[in-house]
């Protein structure tokens, strides 16, 4: 009888411990910056590539690089590809990024920070699709982002699992008006995209640059080319994006 009780208590302890582990593994993780390293790596779509800015130095990646270089000497590598989706990112850009990180590590260099913007082109591609298809695309974006961040975190962690890179991903501004509570509104799906980005990032301790907020309301007309029919950010918009990334990374002076 005593032996049975001991075994039962041991099993209970294992179950309780397992439950605690599952709870912890799915809970939000706190982002803790490690600081800039030797190389700043930028990943993403046309925004990260600096599409349509007046001058190359106006692009948000260039602005972040300038802010970092005021603190220390740091190289910049921008692998962003205009038109990139979360799916093509996994197939094309991410493998390049992982190979680059490995090369830098072999050379004794630390890649940090890593900034990312991805998912906007997925959402735009289904703007006229059914709500069911749009929900499917949102789920796909979330799964792709989770896979991408997991691989980047693994590539930049020590053998003991300690992070060596600060990773930040941005939310997207909504260039269209509408009711965010109405499933037929573009504003609703913009919020769904950003919610997916935040969920994936927070669960992994990745910093979130909340770009959507300063662009809200009429500001989107001030900081983008939407009045001319183009959703891309202008130079002032890129300045705001850079500021949100620097703040999210914890690199403000």
> Which CATH number goes with the domain that contains 111?
3.40.50.1110
Would you say residue 179 lies in a domain?
A: yes
Q: How far apart are CA 73 and CA 38, in angstroms?
A: 7
Question: Whole-prediction pTM value?
Answer: 0.87
Range of the domain at 145: 36-249
Across the chain, which has 253 residues, the per-10-residue mean pLDDT values are 41 38 53 97 98 93 97 96 98 99 98 98 91 95 98 97 97 87 87 97 98 91 91 96 98 85
Strands 75-78 and 39-44: parallel
Whole-number pLDDT of residue 172: 96
Would you say residue 181 lies in a domain?
A: yes
Would you say residue 89 lies in a domain?
A: yes
Would you say residue 7 lies in a domain?
A: no
DSSP letter for 92, please: I
Is residue 74 within 8 Å of residue 68, measured between CB atoms? yes
Would you say residue 16 lies in a domain?
A: no
How many folded domains does the chain comprise? Answer: 1
Q: Cα 56 to the chain's mean position, in Å? A: 22
Whole-number pLDDT of residue 185: 85
Whole-number pLDDT of residue 27: 65
Would you say residue 15 lies in a domain?
A: no
Is residue 203 within 8 Å of residue 24, measured between CB atoms? no
Would you say residue 6 lies in a domain?
A: no
Would you say residue 10 lies in a domain?
A: no
Q: In what order do the strands lie in the sheet with 39-44?
A: 75-78, 39-44, 111-117, 167-170, 207-209
């Amino acid at each position: 009888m005593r032996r049975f009780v001991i075994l039962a208590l041991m099993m209970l302890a294992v179950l309780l411990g397992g439950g605690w582990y599952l709870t912890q593994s799915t809970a939000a993780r706190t982002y803790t910056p490690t600081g800039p390293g030797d190389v700043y790596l930028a990943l993403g779509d046309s925004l990260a590539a600096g599409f349509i800015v007046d001058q190359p130095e106006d692009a948000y990646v260039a602005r972040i690089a300038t802010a970092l270089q005021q603190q220390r000497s740091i190289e910049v590598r921008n692998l962003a590809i205009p038109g990139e989706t979360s799916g093509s990112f996994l197939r094309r850009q991410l493998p390049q990024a992982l190979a680059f990180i490995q090369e830098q590590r072999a050379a004794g260099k630390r890649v940090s920070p890593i900034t990312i913007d991805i998912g906007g082109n997925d959402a735009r591609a289904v703007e006229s699709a059914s709500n069911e298809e749009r929900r499917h695309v949102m789920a796909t974006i979330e799964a792709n982002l989770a896979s991408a961040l997991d691989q980047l975190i693994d590539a930049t962690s020590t053998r003991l699992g300690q992070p060596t890179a600060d990773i930040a991903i941005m939310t997207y501004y909504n260039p269209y008006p509408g009711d965010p509570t109405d499933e037929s509104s573009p504003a609703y799906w913009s919020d769904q995209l950003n919610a997916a980005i935040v969920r994936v990032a927070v669960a992994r301790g990745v910093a979130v640059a909340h770009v959507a907020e300063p662009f809200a309301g009429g500001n989107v007309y001030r900081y983008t080319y939407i009045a001319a029919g183009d959703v891309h950010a202008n130079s002032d918009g890129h300045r705001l994006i850079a500021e949100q990334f620097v703040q999210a990374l914890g690199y403000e002076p």
